[in-house]
Amino acid sequence: MAFEPVLTKGIGKLDLVDIEVYESQGGYQALRKALKQMTPEDVHNEVKKANLRGRGGAGFPAGIKWGFLPDDGRPRYLCCNADESEPGTFNNKMLIEYNPHLLIEGILLAAYATKAAQSFIYIRGEFKRGYETLVKALAQAKAKGYVGRNILGSDFSQEITIHRGAGAYICGEETGLLSSLEGGRGEPRIKPPFPAVSGLYGCPTVVNNVETLCNVPFIVDRGAEWFLSIGTEKSPGTKIFSVSGKVRRPGNYELPLGVTLRELLEEHAGGLLPGRTLKAVQPGGASSPVLLPEHLDIPLDFDSVQAAGSILGTAGVIVFDDTVCMVRTALYYADFFSHESCGQCTPCREGTAWTARILRRIEQGQGTEHDLEVLRSLKETMSGTTICLLSDFSITYLQSVLKHFEDEFKAHVHGRSCGLHAREVRSA
Amino acid sequence: MSQEMVTITVNGRQAQVPKGMLLVEAAKYAGIDIPVFCYHPKLDPVGVCRMCLVEVEGQRKPVPACTTPVADGMVVRTDTPVVQRLQRGVIEFLLLNHPLDCPICDKGGECPLQDQTFRYGPPQGRSLDPKVRKPKAVDLGNFIVFDQERCILCRRCTRFDHEITQEDHLVITQRAHENRVTTADGAPFNSYFSGNTIELCPVGALTSDIYRFKARPWDLARVPFVCTGCPAGCNVYLDFRFGELLRVISRDNPELDGGWLCDRGRFNYRYVHGEERLRRPLVKKDGAFVEVSWEEAFAEIARRLRQVRRDRGGAAIGAIGGGRLTNEEAYLFQKLVRAVFGSPNVDWRVGEQYIASSREFPGRISDISQASGILLVDLLPAERIPVVDLRIRRAAGRGRALLAAVGPAMPTYRPEFKAFPAREEEIPRVLASEELFELYRGRSRVVVLWSGRGRAVGAALAALLRRLKEAGSEVSLLIAGEQANAWGAEAMGVHPERLPGYAPVLHEGARRLVEQAWQVALPEGAGLDTARMLQRAAAGRLEALYLVSANLMATFPDRQLVEQALSKVPFLVVQDLFLTETAKHADVVLPAAAFPEKSGRYTAMDGTVQAVEQAMEAEGDALSDREIFARLAQAMGVRLYASDQELAWEMQHLAGAQDGRLAAAPAEMLAGEGEEEPAPAAEGEGLVLVPVERLYAGGGTAYFDAEFRRARPKAEARFHPEDAARLGIAAGAAVELAAGGVSQRYEAAVDRSVVAGTVQVPKGLFEAPANAFAKGARVAVTVLKPVAEEVS
Ligand SMILES: Cc1cc2nc3c(=O)[nH]c(=O)nc-3n(C[C@H](O)[C@H](O)[C@H](O)COP(=O)(O)O)c2cc1C
Ligand code: SF4
Ligand code: SF4
Ligand code: SF4
Ligand code: FES
């Protein structure tokens, strides 16, 4: 039975950027419904009931997060996290570029439910096309009275400000995002206090991912029961899996949460390239530990993936086949994190650079057993010791490949080729 | 107010600690030290170095003790294998690319990174990679040299510069391992407070250009002292090696300096050993100075003054100075003049300030931190009392205190403040305005800081403050002296109308008290103040002038008058550290001791009296002012004081101090006794010239200091942007200011903080003495060269 996509329906067939097309598909009906028939509490309750788990990586239920906002007279803010920079993750990009009104409608509903005074979209600086699309869509929505004062004749008013980042992965971390949005360096802040209590300009703030927010109009329109009927009991709804790496048809696939890895890869992503065998899969972006071929039948939902020793994260599914050198993958990520750390915390600033230096040496055949020991030990000093999770992220994948592909590291260390790629020219 | 206490347990030891206190501080109550790098008690915590991670029961992850407030029942462990492993880890990370310059590092021996590596670090480093090299000697500003390799990115320096000075010169740039400390937009780090970052830096990354590579800390002999640069009275340590003063650092006094120093106080000390110090007494013979012995110098002065006294009476002698002396010296100075010279003419005032304290509105420097309203009158605190300005910035910056400024030049602050630009003669009118009164009315604690200039201003201030007091405010008036011990000099009676303890000089009872104590008859009548002494001298009606640390050519507002007086007076004695412009006119020059070379007491601008003990031998034959006065008196046949005890008794008897504070001047002195100077006629064409203080401009100590000199401001005239546009002046242009036959060349600068219609020039600059112009002069501006030449 072919699954009917929700968030991505019409993408590739209809020009949903055009507000009239979007409206013709039922767009802005949820907003109309909420403003006419529902109180903010009703909307909030529906989202809570639907157990909409955050799609930005942590899977934290949005309805519960919204409930943390204190009611103390300070203005509240809503920030849409559109900084998507995780390697192998590109579903937000698609939603923004091809279905921007869905996001705008989702933001409006979330703002309505949380009684936000003002909304912001913090969009990754490199998303030039997405930014232009959003600006255009927002102008249309304003012209039609969906954004601005007294929306659709109600008491509800909302402005949405689009802010472009300047190219830092760390600005996707919610408090780094807030620092950057305020005009400071994109540096995460110590939690607690959490943004819900003290966020943008010290006021209660909700930060939600693009995909999370895009689900809200459907929950409002079709109800929590409908949403709960998709996916698994604890991970309801759909998820857009971004599949990349060694598959025949990389791309975004919206499927119910709980779809098996096998189905995703074989039925949707076209399977492996001819003649290749599967080596490993990262199910949730750069930092997710590897799953192995033996895990092909696990359901891709938050809890099952965790039970298998990894994380669903951003659902950026990265596939490695037998031609891939795992030392190189580790080095690639180490370089990424040692470039993207904001640099505040000693373990992250120094540890990411050290990891990369060691891996580079190992990859070039100049590593030692001692290096492998050091790399393993870094787990203890780089996880759970810093302000945000980037430090942890930088080390989790490495630890998993050190464990599962130790032989490849040893092959590099002991000077033999791992056989998978031409060795870089060695320095003397 | 009693603080709510909670109970915590650290490593099994229980302690009662104030609720909400940061764990890192609270652990000390249990006798446990938690190692830190980024945390500093005077800065807001940021929790970046991760050295202070500890385990707290019920928390999944280790928590930073520097950002975690304690809660009741908290159970903390700082000694578990996990914590120890994390501490080793952080140190290992910090040392990965640290150069370990310890053997040649200024910080070696007093370096938290060394000490904590020793105590908490791993026994061995594990890195096999060569260290990453970075720039070793980056000049960040006038005094700070940055070694980037040693920096551990704790951010204490940038936080200080952001939170405490609110100047934001220093920033962190780049990400990840490319993080580095630098200056915003590459502009030099020339904060008046830059040196504090050296002390805050937990490694040897920020170093003093002057002290760099000069000594090993353990070889330094340390003497507690008080900075004599200004009346803020900051506490310092002087560090010596083989009798040479190598470094000045802060000695935290929460009531005064709050642990900070300004760069003038911290870096302007090498003049003490400077080539240009006067080391022998000089006597002018046939127009040229000749070195003589002290005996000869004293004999010459004694001979000349006796002669004057015999022929013309003691009143033909004038004596000026005292604001840079210790209390004891100031006391002896006026005693010397009155009892030995037989002259009533003695005055501490060398510039424009006429009063140094106010009994009616007492206050302490620390009151500023509690103030709900702060008013600055005719004062740029950063230029005159810099460290006090840090309190003002903090109080205003937290939005707690309303801040307003009245005067011809406006200060610069990051927080909002109300500006009331007013020419000197307009200030009383502003002070009397309802607007100003309304602004402060009802504020519980109002602190006014004032320059002490202008009797009419003093009277208007007194009226305003009385009104505010009646309206329920607690009111303090702090007067920032032009010289460090203005208050002491005034209290000790270095004043033509006041005896020690402010007793009116014409008051019979007061005179009797002094005469009994001194066993001499006081000279008749009241004395002449500084201006009148100079006028008399210029008119040929004063026979001798004795100047003590008074470079009147630079400090007195009317330079022509000084010049005439000094050239005209038949006998001039100058007692100073350097052969200043003023001293060049002298017949006898007496080399005085510099601040570390003498003992005594100084009075801060809130009356706090602080004693210091001589810290080094005087250079050459220089003598302390106290000794000079005593020996001169001896040469004139009088014993000025018998013993230190007797001197102390006499001072206590006549000008007693209480609780470590000197009494302040009685109300009538503030209200303005004596004649008011005629208001300058400021009508007419041209911009009003406003000479403003610049921290590094004034004084021989800056000019004659080979290592500080470079920081002195250049001759710069600052214009308001509108005036600059109207007159076609671009920043950097060479301009000439002219008025009343005087003309001077300046480099133009354009600055929003300048009051429109005025042009600001530095006061006290030897190269372009602003006091050559008449007070309040309107100057014509000519552009000489549109844009400054490149300095090659
Ligand atoms: C290093 C780091 C990078 C992150 N980047 C993103 C990102 O690009 N987009 C995103 O939505 N969330 C990102 N997150 C997660 C956010 O902090 C936050 O949890 C999320 O935006 C919450 O939205 P959700 O609850 O809707 O998932 C990142 C977290 C970390 C630690
Ligand atoms: S963990 Fe890394 S990225 Fe996160 S705040 Fe610390 S230094 Fe910055
Ligand atoms: S900063 Fe400390 S550890 Fe570093 S070189 Fe200097 S003394 Fe040694
Ligand atoms: S220069 Fe010193 S104070 Fe500044 S960040 Fe580096 S180590 Fe810290
Ligand atoms: S001292 Fe606590 S993190 Fe630096």
pLDDT tens digits along B634-687: 999 999 999 999 999 999 999 987 778 999 999 999 976 555 555 555 567 899
Residue type, B125: G
Q: Does B202 touch chain A (CB under 8 A)?
A: no
Contact B567, B585 (CB under 8 A): yes
Phi, psi at residue B633, to the nearest 5°? -60, -40
Query: Hey, of A185, A350, A361, which one would you mutate to test binding to chain B, going by the most B CBs within 10 A of its CB?
Result: A350
- Report the half-sphere exposure of B174 (CA within 13 A, side-chain side): 12
How many angstroms does the Cα of residue A378 sit away from the middle of ligand 1? 24
If you measure from the C-alpha of residue B205 to the centroid of ligand 3, how many angstroms do you get, rounded to a whole number?
8
B238 and B289 co-located in one domain: no
DSSP 8-state assignment for residue B727:
H
Contact between chains at A343 and B51 (C-beta distance less than 8 A): no
With CA atoms as reference, the chain A residue closest to B53 would be: A385
Q: Which of A190, A340, A350 sits opposite B93 (nearest CB)?
A: A350
User: Is the four-CA dihedral B137, B139, B142, B144 of positive or negative sign?
Assistant: negative
| DSSP reduced 3-state for B630 | helix
Specify which residues A161 forms β-bridges with. A120
CA distance B173 to B540: 65
Any chain B CB within 8 A of the CB of A173? no
Q: Indicate the Cα dihedral angle B86, B90, B93, B96, nearest 10°.
A: -110
| CATH assignment of the domain containing B225 | 3.30.70.20
Same-domain check for residues B293 and B183:
no
In a domain, B141, yes or no: yes
The whole-angstrom distance between B127's CA and the closest CA on chain A is 8
Among all ligands shown, which has an atom nearest to the Cα of A89? Answer: 1
CB within 8 Å of A298: residues ≥ 6 apart? A260, A261, A291, A304, A305, A307, A308
Measured between CB atoms, does A389 come within 8 Å of chain B? no
Does A361 lie at the interface with B, CB-CB under 8 angstroms? yes
Would you call B148 an interface residue with chain A, using a CB distance cutoff of 8 Å? Answer: no
Q: How far are the Cα atoms of B250, B376, B487, B696 from residue B262, in angstroms, in the given order?
A: 10, 20, 21, 11
Domain ends where: B417, B450, B479?
B479
| Tens digit of each residue's pLDDT (9 = 90 or more) over B498-535 | 999 999 999 999 999 999 999 999 999 999 999 999 99
Tell me, yes or no, whether B497 and B451 share the same domain. no
C-alpha to C-alpha distance for A208 and A106, rounded to whole angstroms: 10
Is B144 within 8 Å of A388 (Cβ atoms)?
Answer: no
The whole-number pLDDT of residue B641 equals: 95
Nearest ligand 2 atom, CA A176: 5
Q: What pLDDT score was predicted for residue B683?
A: 66
Between CA B513 and CA B149 the distance in angstroms is 67
User: Is A282 part of the contact surface with chain B (CB cutoff 8 Å)?
Assistant: no
Minimal-distance CA residue of chain B relative to A355:
B127
User: Over the Cα atoms of chain A, what is R_g?
Assistant: 22
Distance, in Å, from the CA atom of B324 to the CA atom of B481, rounded to the nearest integer, reads: 10
Domains of chain A: 19-228 (3.40.50.11540), 238-321 (3.10.20.600), 326-413 (1.20.1440.230)
Asked whether the beta carbons of B521 and B342 are under 8 A apart, the reply is no
Closest alpha carbon to A284 in A319, A335, A232? A319
CA torsion through residues B151, B153, B154, B160, sign = positive
- A207-228 as b/e, with b when 16 or more CB fall inside 10 Å? bbbbbbbbbbbbbbbbebeebb
- A118–chain B Cβ distance below 8 A for any pair: no
CATH number of the domain enclosing B726: 2.40.40.20
Ranges in chain B, pLDDT < 70: 1-2, 672-683, 788-792
In this structure, the number of other CB atoms found within 10 A of the CB of residue A229 comes to 12
Q: Which pLDDT score is estimated for A41?
A: 98
Instruction: Enter the tokens of residue B425.
Output: 């003669």
Q: Which residues line ligand 1 (CB under 6 A)?
A: A 54-58, 60, 62, 81, 83-86, 170, 172-174, 207-209, 212, 388-390, 393
Instruction: Say if CB B68 and CB B36 are below 8 A apart.
Output: no
State in Å, rounded, how far the first CA of chain B is from the last one.
63
DSSP-based three-state secondary structure for B449:
strand
The verdict on residue B571 lying in a domain is yes
Closest ligand, as measured to the CA of A53: 1
Strands (E), B317-439: 317-321, 346-347, 373-377, 402-407, 418-421
Q: Does B92 touch chain A (CB under 8 A)?
A: yes
A225 CA: distance to closest CA in chain B (Å) = 35
With a Cβ cut-off of 6 Å, ligand 4 is lined by B 151-157, 181, 200-203, 205-206
CB B161 within 8 A of CB B198: no
Whether residue B506 is found in the same domain as residue B641:
yes
Instruction: Give the closest-approach CA distance of A366 to chain B in angstroms.
Output: 11
B78 by Cβ neighbours in 10 Å (0-12 / 13-18 / 19+) ranks as buried
The pLDDT assigned to A425 comes to: 40
- H helices, E strands: number in chain B: 24, 35
Whether residue B431 is contained in a domain is answered as yes
User: Does the interface predicted TM-score (ipTM) exceed 0.85?
Assistant: yes
- Say whether both B251 and B205 belong to one domain: yes
Give the CA distances from residue A217 to residues A102, A113, A144, A214, A228, in Å, rounded to whole numbers and listed in that order: 7, 12, 18, 7, 15
B639 in the same domain as B493: yes
Does A379 contact chain B (CB < 8 Å)?
no
Mutate to test the interface with B, among A346, A381, A395 (most CBs of B within 10 A): A346
Give the end of a domain, one of B458, B479, B500: B479
- B86: CB partners within 8 A, 6+ apart: A380, A381, A385, B50, B53, B62
Which pTM value belongs to this model? 0.95
Q: If you measure from the C-alpha of residue A392 to the centroid of ligand 2, how many angstroms do you get, rounded to a whole number?
A: 9
Of A316, A271, A315, A310, nearest in space to A404 by CA: A310
Sign of the four-CA dihedral B545, B549, B554, B558 = negative
Residues B235, B168 share a domain = yes
Q: Look-up: residue for tokens 């003309």?
A: B743
d(CA A389, CA A189): 11
Instruction: Report helix, strand or coil for B300.
Output: helix
Task: Return the ligand number nearest the Cα of B198.
Answer: 4
Chain B positions touching A361 (Cβ under 8 A) are 128-129
Chain A interface test: which of B92, B96, B149, B162 (most A C-beta within 10 Å):
B92
Q: Ligand 1 centre and the CA of B545: distance in Å? A: 78
Q: Is the beta carbon of B51 within 6 A of some atom in ligand 5?
A: yes
Nearest to A341 among B61, B127, B176 (CB): B176
Q: Are B175 and A386 in contact (CB < 8 Å)?
A: no
How far away, in angstroms, is B102 Cα from ligand 3 center?
Answer: 5
**Total residues found in chain A within this entry:** 428
Residue B73, number of CB atoms within 10 A of its CB: 11
Q: Which residues contact A354 (CB under 8 A, 6 or more apart)?
A: A378, B93, B96, B127, B129
- Distance in angstroms (rounded) separating the CA atoms of residues A270 and A284: 19
**Ligand 4 atom closest to Cα of B172?**
5
Identify which of A338, A370, A381 has the shortest CB distance to residue B177: A338
What is the phi/psi pair of residue B241, to 5°? -135, 120
Chain A CB contacts of B23 under 8 Å are none
Helix (H) or strand (E) holding B245: strand B244-250
3-state per-residue secondary structure call for chain A: CCCCCCCCCCECCECCCCHHHHHHCCCCHHHHHHHHHCCHHHHHHHHHHHCCECCCCCCCEHHHHHHCCCCCCCCCEEEEEECCCCCCCCHHHHHHHHCHHHHHHHHHHHHHHHCCCEEEEEECCCCHHHHHHHHHHHHHHHHCCCCECCHHHCCCCECEEEEECCCCHHHHCHHHHHHHHCCCCCCCCCCCCCCCCCCHHHCCEEEEEHHHHHHHHHHHHHCHHHHHCCECCCCECEEEEEEEECECCCEEEEEECCCEHHHHHHHHCCCECCCCCEEEEECCCCCCCCECHHHCCCECCHHHHHHCCCCCCCCEEEEEECCCCHHHHHHHHHHHHHHHCCCCCHHHHHHHHHHHHHHHHHHCCCCCHHHHHHHHHHHHHHCCCCCCCHHHHHHHHHHHHHHHCHHHHHHHHCCCCCCCCCCCCCCC
Instruction: Kindly report the CATH number assigned to the domain that includes residue B470.
Output: 3.40.50.1380
Cβ of A190 within 8 Å of Cβ of B67? The answer is yes
Distance B731 CA to ligand 5 centre (A): 45
Within a 10 A sphere around the Cβ of A42, how many other Cβ atoms?
Answer: 14
Between chains, do A346 and B92 touch, taking CB under 8 Å as contact? no
Structural contact between residues B544 and B571, judged by C-beta atoms closer than 8 angstroms: yes
Burial class (CB in 10 A: 0-12, 13-18, 19+), A263: middle
Q: Whose CA is nearest to atom 6 of ligand 4?
A: B151
Among B433, B460, B479, the domain boundary falls at: B479
Residue B493 domain-assigned? yes
Work out whether the CA dihedral B49, B55, B58, B61 comes out positive or negative: positive
Burial class (CB in 10 A: 0-12, 13-18, 19+), B119: exposed
Task: Tell whether B114 is covered by a domain.
Answer: no
User: Which CATH number do you get for residue B646?
Assistant: 3.40.50.740
Structure tokens at B160: 């200080």
Interface of A with B in 222-261 (CB under 8 A): none
On whether the CB atoms of residues B390 and B260 are closer than 8 A, the answer is yes
Q: Note whether A361 contacts B128, CB cutoff 8 Å.
A: yes
CA–CA gap between residue B664 and residue B357 (Å, rounded): 5
Ligand 3 center–CA B55 separation, angstroms: 29
A370 touches chain B (CB under 8 A): yes
The answer on B509 and B417 residing in a single domain is no
**What is each CA distance from A313 to A93, A94, A335, in whole angstroms?**
16, 18, 20
B49 lines ligand 5 (CB under 6 A): yes
Counting ligand 2 atoms within 8 A of each CB, the residue from A348, A352, A393 with the most, and so the one to mutate, is A348
d(CA B95, CA B355): 56
The burial of B123, by beta-carbon neighbours within 10 Å (0-12 exposed, 13-18 middle, 19 or more buried), is given as exposed
Domain residues for the domain of B760 are 687-785
- Residue B620 within a domain: yes
- Say yes or no: B236 and B255 in one domain: yes
Same domain, B456 and B490: no
In total, how many domains does chain B have?
5
- DSSP class of B762: E
Nearest residue on chain A to B45, judged by CA atoms? A190
Q: Per the domain annotation, does B675 fall within a domain?
A: no
pLDDT tens digits in sequence order for chain A, 428 residues long: 578 999 999 999 999 999 999 999 999 999 999 999 999 999 999 999 999 999 999 999 999 999 999 999 999 999 999 999 999 999 999 999 999 999 999 999 999 999 999 999 999 999 999 999 999 999 999 999 999 999 999 999 999 999 999 999 999 999 999 999 999 999 999 999 999 999 999 999 999 999 999 999 999 999 999 999 999 999 999 999 999 999 999 999 999 999 999 999 999 999 999 999 999 999 999 999 999 999 999 999 999 999 999 999 999 999 999 999 999 999 999 999 999 999 999 999 999 999 999 999 999 999 999 999 999 999 999 999 999 999 999 999 999 999 999 999 999 999 766 777 764 444 33
For residues B494 and B642, membership in a common domain is answered with yes
CB contact (8 A) between residue B128 and residue A340 = no
Beta carbon pairs, A and B, within 8 Å: 96
Pair (B707, B651) in one structural domain: no
pLDDT at position A427 is: 39
Q: CB-CB: which of A343, A370, A384 is closest to B176?
A: A343
- Please tell me the distance in Å from B233's CA to the nearest CA on chain A: 37
Tell me the CATH number at B48: 3.10.20.740
